[in-house]
Structure 1
Amino acid sequence: MTRRLGTSAALIGLLAAALTTFSAPATAADPLFQAPVVGQCSPMTRAELDQPTYAGAPVDCAGAHTSLVIAVTTLPDGLTYDSPDLVDLALETCYPAQRKALGTNVLGARLTAYAIGWFGPSAEQQAAGARWLRCDLVLLGGTELTPLPGKLDVGKYPFKKSVSRCLAGRDFLVTTCSAKHTYRATAAIKIKANRYPKEKAWKRIGTDRCRNATTSRTYRFSWPSKVDWTVGDRALVCYTQTKK
């Protein structure tokens, strides 16, 4: 039996939450006003990951932390925080930074429980001229975030259970394979197509390609969203049912 998951969970954050746009002051302003710096760590929660802004104080990266700033960029002229093109900027900035931090490619990243969140400045920071966007790397653990390990480079596949992608619960939430789970990602397959496949086509592709990439009678698969596809994510992920 084949069952399909929702679209890629690799991107978390502002996909459904637009920021309020403010006009910059008439005087010269710093677009990086109060922006975080790459390498900054935070004790972010899963609930905070879903918000359009993050105002938590940074912590020492030598201690426990759940997020790491992996990229910071400024918005180009003409782009606002409520523009649909903001998503493209976020993905084009965050995905390469994620792959660099993990030392792997798109397919490798999809076989891990790592994800990215992206955030903009608060209303007050925007009013002061801030025009930045930050990318944070997190490790999903179902309804919570898992503390990040000291070494992010995942090496060669198969990856450690502590960072490998598995699914848990009735909602099939992404978690690490060291936690309780029911499905394990066993393959990430690059799909070649001239245009983004429709849902019916994705189901056919997933059924055909994941049948031989899984080792259980019941398996699942997920595919990238259309916006992920436009920035180069063509990975179909296949999940094998497990007993754990």
Structure 2
Amino acid sequence: MLTPQDVRQPSNSSPVVPCSARHTAETFAIGTLPASTGSSYDDRRHGRWIYHTCQQRFDRFLGADESLALRIRLSWAWFRPSQDAWGQGARWYRCDVVGGPDGARSYRPLPTTARGLFSKQQPNTWLTCARGATVTGSVKVPCSARHDWRAVTAVKVGQPGDPYPGDRIVQVRSRDYCSDWVGAWMHYPTDYEFGYTWFHRAEWQAGNRRSVCWARTDR
């Protein structure tokens, strides 16, 4: 039963509970940090290595592709040993899926297991929609709740090896690609509204090459 306050800490020793009981987190990956990430407890290389490792396994665990993974109301957290255990040589890591997006103030209970949650269907309870006049500044809500916008895809705005092209280029690509994609998703109506969420240099350097496209719809 993790909380957002728990996942902000580098280590966690919360009591485990059966997955058949009420829970907000489920461990989906464990392993050992490689020597290449350094021997210091706070070395930033740990996080960079973990980002790719846990993100890929998170997607596979849920049955989600890159696009869908950016549009769901689930996220993941990772933990390492306590500083005392680290000093004694422990180097394990643990990746947990948690029942809320990054920045959530609270987590919702997960199903008995989140494994394969999106492999056969896309439950509205865990998809991201928004309520507000525009996407910018809107309140993000589950698509099972009343909403004005739905995140319908996440378009690719660059290739893995590309250097960051700058804010303006990413924004323009996001706008143009999302305009085309949302128009097709809505079957090319004569008039439609769309929005987009694009990311900056820090997310690009972490490996993200996608922007989220939104369609104005209450469905």
Which TM-score bucket, shorter chain as reference? Answer: 0.7 to 0.9
Structure scoring higher RCO (CA < 8 A, sep ≥ 6) equals 1
The one of 94, 108, 111 equivalent to 1:149 is: 111
Q: Distance in 1 between matches of 2:58 and 2:3?
A: 19
The one of 180, 195, 202 equivalent to 1:212 is: 180
- Whether the 8 Å CA contact 1:168–1:181 is kept in 2: the answer is yes
- Whether the 8 Å CA contact 1:166–1:177 is kept in 2: the answer is yes
Equivalent in the alignment of 1:227 = 205
Equivalent in the alignment of 1:192 = 158
CA RMSD of aligned residues (A): 2.7
Cα deviation, residue 124, structure 1: 2.4
Q: Distance in 2 between matches of 1:104 and 1:46?
A: 23
Q: Residues 130 and 179 from structure 1, CA distance in 2 versus in 1: closer, same or farther, beyond 3 angstroms?
A: farther
**Paired amino acid for 1:87:** G
Give 3-state SS (helix, strand or coil) of 1:213's partner: helix
**Paired amino acid for 2:150:** R
Q: Does 1:176 align with 2:142?
A: yes
Give 3-state SS (helix, strand or coil) of 1:70's partner: strand
Cα deviation, residue 180, structure 1: 5.1
Give 3-state SS (helix, strand or coil) of 1:81's partner: coil
Q: Residues 176 and 53 from structure 1, CA distance in 2 versus in 1: closer, same or farther, beyond 3 angstroms?
A: farther
Equivalent in the alignment of 2:42 = 82
Structure number having the greater helix percentage? 2
Q: Does 1:45 align with 2:3?
A: yes
Cα deviation, residue 175, structure 1: 4.4
How many residue pairs get aligned? The number is 198
Cα deviation, residue 218, structure 1: 5.3
**Paired amino acid for 1:219:** G
Give 3-state SS (helix, strand or coil) of 2:99's partner: strand
- Whether the 8 Å CA contact 1:143–1:173 is kept in 2: the answer is no
Equivalent in the alignment of 1:165 = 128
Q: Does 1:109 align with 2:69?
A: yes
Give 3-state SS (helix, strand or coil) of 1:130's partner: coil
Cα deviation, residue 179, structure 1: 3.9
Q: Residues 150 and 175 from structure 1, CA distance in 2 versus in 1: closer, same or farther, beyond 3 angstroms?
A: farther
**Paired amino acid for 1:147:** P
**Paired amino acid for 2:11:** T
Stretches of structure 1 that go unaligned for 5 or more consecutive residues are 1-42
Give the TM-score, by structure 2 length.
0.77
Q: Deviations over 1:187-224 (max 9, x none)?
A: 11123343233211111111111123336535232337
